[in-house]
Structure 1
Amino acid sequence: MTFKENARLDTSQVRSGGGGGRRSGGGGGMAAGGGIGGIILLVLYLIFGGNLGGGGGGAGGGGAAGADSWNFNAAEVGAEGEGVSDDFSHCQTGADANENRDCLVVGTVNSVQAFWTSAWSEYQPAQTVIFSGTVQTGCGAANSQVGPFYCPLDEQVYIDVSFFDQLEQMGADGGSLSQMYVIGHEYGHHVQNLNGVLGRAQQDPQGPESGAVRIELQADCYAGVWVAHADGTRLGQEDQAILEPVTQKQIDSALTAAEAVGDDRIQEQMQGRVTPENWTHGSSEQRQKWFMTGYESGDPNACNTFTGDLG
Structure 2
Amino acid sequence: MTFQGSGSIDTGNVSGGGGGGGGRIALGGGAGLLITIVALLFGVNPGDLLGSQAAPQQGTSSAASEIQQQLDACTWEMANENTICRIKATTVSLDQVWSDLMPGYEAPKTVIFADSVNTACGAASSATGPFYCPADHTAYFDPSFFTQLRRMGGSDGPLAQEYVVAHEYGHAVQNLTGALARGQRLGSQGPTSGSVRVELQADCLAGVWANKADDGPDALLQPITQQQISSVIQTAQAIGDDTIQGSRSNPESWTHGSATQRAKWFSIGYQSGDPKKCDTFATNDL
Quick check: 2:238–2:244 contact (8 Å CA) kept in 1?
yes
Aligned to 1:59: 50
Per the alignment, do residues 18 and 277 of structure 1 end up closer, same or farther by CA in structure 2, a change over 3 Å counting? same
Aligned to 1:276: 251
Q: Matched residue of 1:12: which SS?
A: coil
Per the alignment, do residues 102 and 42 of structure 1 end up closer, same or farther by CA in structure 2, a change over 3 Å counting? closer
Which one of the candidate residues 224, 227, 235 is aligned to 2:210? 227
Matches within 5 A, 1:112-123: 112-123=94-105
Aligned to 1:134: 116
Q: How big is the shift at 1:141?
A: 1.4
Q: How big is the shift at 1:309?
A: 3.1
Aligned to 1:98: 80
Moved more, 35-44 or 215-224: 35-44
Matches within 5 A, 1:223-262: 223-232=206-215, 240-262=218-240
Whole-angstrom distance in 2 between the partners of 1:247 and 1:309: 32
Whole-angstrom distance in 2 between the partners of 1:129 and 1:205: 25
1:40 is aligned to 2:35: yes
1:215 is aligned to 2:198: yes
Whole-angstrom distance in 1 between the partners of 2:252 and 2:44: 23
Per the alignment, do residues 78 and 289 of structure 1 end up closer, same or farther by CA in structure 2, a change over 3 Å counting? farther
Per the alignment, do residues 36 and 279 of structure 1 end up closer, same or farther by CA in structure 2, a change over 3 Å counting? closer
Q: How big is the shift at 1:40?
A: 2.5
Task: Kindly tell me the number of residue pairs found equivalent between the two proteins.
Answer: 272
Aligned to 1:67: none
1:179 is aligned to 2:161: yes
In structure 2, the gaps of 5 or more residues are: 20-29
* CA-atom RMSD in angstroms: 2.5
More helix by share: 2
Q: How big is the shift at 1:129?
A: 0.2
Q: How big is the shift at 1:14?
A: 0.7
Per the alignment, do residues 295 and 45 of structure 1 end up closer, same or farther by CA in structure 2, a change over 3 Å counting? closer
Q: How big is the shift at 1:80?
A: 8.0
Whole-angstrom distance in 2 between the partners of 1:167 and 1:303: 25
| Equivalent position amino acid for 1:125 in 2 | A
Per the alignment, do residues 38 and 219 of structure 1 end up closer, same or farther by CA in structure 2, a change over 3 Å counting? farther
Per the alignment, do residues 144 and 37 of structure 1 end up closer, same or farther by CA in structure 2, a change over 3 Å counting? farther
Whole-angstrom distance in 2 between the partners of 1:219 and 1:199: 14
Whole-angstrom distance in 2 between the partners of 1:243 and 1:155: 25
| Equivalent position amino acid for 2:262 in 1 | R
In structure 1, the gaps of 5 or more residues are: 20-34, 62-72, 234-238
Quick check: 1:227–1:295 contact (8 Å CA) kept in 2?
yes
Whole-angstrom distance in 1 between the partners of 2:74 and 2:231: 24
Whole-angstrom distance in 1 between the partners of 2:58 and 2:14: 21
Aligned to 2:55: 75
Aligned to 2:27: none
Whole-angstrom distance in 2 between the partners of 1:223 and 1:142: 23
Give TM-score scaled by structure 1 length: 0.81
Which one of the candidate residues 176, 184, 206 is aligned to 1:202? 184
Whole-angstrom distance in 2 between the partners of 1:133 and 1:96: 23
Quick check: 2:200–2:261 contact (8 Å CA) kept in 1?
yes
Q: How big is the shift at 1:265?
A: 0.2
Q: Give percent identity, aligned residues only.
A: 48
Quick check: 1:37–1:147 contact (8 Å CA) kept in 2?
no
Aligned to 1:70: none
Q: How big is the shift at 1:11?
A: 3.7
| Equivalent position amino acid for 1:218 in 2 | Q
Whole-angstrom distance in 2 between the partners of 1:145 and 1:177: 22
Whole-angstrom distance in 2 between the partners of 1:58 and 1:291: 28
Aligned to 1:304: 279
Q: How big is the shift at 1:18?
A: 5.0
Q: Matched residue of 2:79: which SS?
A: helix
Quick check: 1:10–1:107 contact (8 Å CA) kept in 2?
no
Whole-angstrom distance in 2 between the partners of 1:7 and 1:245: 20
Whole-angstrom distance in 2 between the partners of 1:287 and 1:82: 37
Aligned to 2:144: 162
Identify which of structures 1 and 2 has the higher relative contact order when contacts are C-alpha pairs closer than 8 Å and 6+ apart: 1
